[in-house]
Chains A and B, each alone.
Chain A
Amino acid sequence: MPAEINTELENATGVDVSAARAALREVAHEPGSKKPDPIVVADNVRRTFGGLTAVDVQHVEIQRGVITALIGPNGAGKTTFFNLITGFDRPDDGDWSFNGQSLRGVAAYRVARMGMVRTFQLTKVLAKLTVLENMRVGATGQHGERLLRAMFAPFWRHQETSNTEKADALLERFLLIKKREDFAGSLSGGQRKLLEMARALMADPELVMLDEPMAGVNPALKQSLLGHVKSLRDEGRTVLFVEHDMDMVRDISDWVIVMAQGKVIAEGPPDSVMGDQRVIDAYLGSHHDQDLSVEMEEQILAAAEAEIAEEHGEEPVQTASTSSEGEQRG
């Protein structure tokens, strides 16, 4: 069954996945590096909440046809960046595009229709709709969603049948088929994650953006989910996901972008990024959700103090805005 879907969709999107992955080998391992075939390009995207700069991305490109991981410590601005580029939040400044088309000021629903569908870190299932109905809402271009045609079932019955078949296939794949007729509100936390992911796929997106898809999913299912995410790539979809589980990141991603304090601080293939000193510093400087030993905590504290001292030392050469921030912190 999955094999059928694969070939079908591969033809539909026409992306040569192996070529896309191979092309990444030529890309420089540094923040904001140019990609051979970017699907998303963001420039100077900045979002502040009061005095806090949550996102301040100079330049970033997402390669088409591969799996890109967006990692970073808690509060790095990953979710905010997702919100900004999908139109759920407005940046203070900046420009970003999808398939070469600027998305500045484009409403969230239009972004989704263009083929860029996201999921949420805090899952948003439609609680009082059944799992199947949740899936059906995901389908695009439904005639029955237009007011005047909605009243007359012959206009949409055929489409509804094919959408239902598609939904059933996806539910099968995500192990939710037994829950088909249950209210989505009765699902467990992990099942909701699965439903949200499956629902996003109902729209046949070109770019799937997953915000912590594995949070709360049990390890056995995680393995099969990893397989699903890889199969999305093999279908020719581009995947961008946020994740804290480094094993998973190492396992499936072709490229990793690291954010810290709103900025992209490193980029590269998983192995090179995880050895990068800047990344280690960023993670050490924050309280990453790993179990930390006492020695580790002391080490972090020492590193943090050293960092603060260093920043104070640099203060005179910094611009006015950052130095005022430094003053507040110090």
Chain B
Amino acid sequence: MDWHSIFSQALQQGLGPVAAVYCLAAIGLNVHFGSTGLLNFGQAGFMAVAGYAMTSFVATWGLSFWLGSLVGLVAAALLALLLGVPTLRLRADYLAIVTIAAAEIIRQTIGSVTLLKYFGGQDGLQAFNSSFANLNPFTGRIGIPGVVSWRPYDFWTLVVCWLLCALCCLVVWLLMRSPWGRVLKGIREDEDAVRSLGKNVYAYKMQSLLIGGLIGGLAGIMTALQHSAINPSFFATDTTFFAYTVLLLGGAARVLGPVAGTIIFWFLISFLDLFFGAATSGADPLIPASIMTSNQASLMRFVVMGLSLMLLMIYRPQGIFGDRRELAIDAR
């Protein structure tokens, strides 16, 4: 078994553009769920709206990539308003139901045959990222020599994506240490208490939904750029749940939780994939075919991942960066 290659490839995933995109999505969710207690189960919807707005602007209407990206973010903001206006006055679970349904509606609508000529149906759209690709300053394989490397375009998206993550983390950190962030945390704990102190809870929740949705929109645009393509399957419900996994792994309500979470999640999941792949292939596999075939091996990563998540929730439910003291309070 080639351990070096397995580690190298797992690291390539752990630090790669996909991990960075999920980091962005999870930072958005962290504003919603970690700081405000809003259960947004439709982050994929925010991503889809922004991603498709950008790609269709370029690929369908031939307009500028930058204008498309801007419109994408505006569309994500509008979605936040649309979902927030009817639900934020209600109990928290209503938002969860509405967002998960909205994300599916968006995905089905975008992929429908009726809108084929705008959004390309189930095949999606391609050839929209030339302005972005032309800015790529990198050539040749790039990375840490002998440890990990990426193709130039992957490295370019990775750099941009991590820079966006850094920017978002900075903004979130600045906001959460402020009195504004304190009000959000208060709302998460008990919104009636905060209301009794003269704060407009509804407006704060709306602002939180907007900011998290915008960050989700960025993640959607980067998803499209990183694949150089877009199609509805990128924005299925599991996208949102992977982002939640990333968030809980790192520790909700911690600014850097999503960063740690995404690196560990993607490193582990590709490491397990590669390991079980290698262990079941070849003439004399490490794991004999009577126990596991190479077809079954590709599913093992989800089994192990699920198991480790369960163990994490039992033994370290606050996540990797979480504060144990905070958790002790829940027990009361």
Contact = CB atoms under 8 A, between A and B. Distances in A.
Interface stretch (B123-131, B195-203, B295-303): B195-203
B146 interface: no
Given A88-B192, A127-B329, A129-B182, A151 B197 contact: no
Interface string A251-292: 000000000000000000000000000000000000000000
B194 interface: yes
B137 to A, nearest CB: 30
Nearest to A202: B197
Interface string A124-137: 11111100010011
Interface residues of B, number: 31
B180 interface: yes
Interface in B173-188: 174-175, 177-183, 185-186, 188
B136 to A, nearest CB: 31
A147 B179 contact: no
B186 A129 contact: yes
A224 interface: no
B134 to A, nearest CB: 33
Interface in B289-332: 325-326, 328-329, 332
B175 A126 contact: no
A133 B182 contact: yes
Given A117-B196, A137-B186, A147-B207, 14 more contacts: A86-B196, A108-B196, A109-B198, A120-B192, A127-B190, A127-B329, A128-B326, A133-B185, A137-B183, A145-B179, A150-B179, A150-B180, A185-B329, A196-B193
Contact of A128 (B178, B185, B199): B185
B171 interface: yes
Interface of B: 171, 174-175, 177-183, 185-186, 188-190, 192-201, 207, 325-326, 328-329, 332
Nearest to A112: B198
Contacts of A145: 178-180, 183, 199
A152 B178 CA distance: 8
B188 to A, nearest CB: 8
Contacts of B192: 88, 108, 120, 124
Interface in A140-162: 140, 142, 144-147, 150-153, 156, 160
A147 B180 contact: yes
B180 A124 contact: no
B186 A124 contact: no
Which label, helix, strand, loop or mixed, suits the secondary structure of the B interface? Answer: helix
Contacts, number: 109
Nearest to A199: B197
Interface of A: 86, 88, 107-110, 112-113, 117-120, 124-129, 133, 136-138, 140, 142, 144-147, 150-153, 156, 160, 183, 185-186, 196, 199-200, 202-203
A150 B198 CA distance: 18
A152 B171 CA distance: 10
Ranked 9 nearest A-B pairs via Cβ = A185-B329, A144-B179, A150-B180, A112-B198, A124-B193, A150-B178, A126-B189, A113-B198, A151-B174
- Residue among A129, A146, A200 with most chain B CB within 10 A: A129
A120 B179 contact: no
A147 B182 CA distance: 12
Contact of A126 (B178, B190, B328, B332): B190
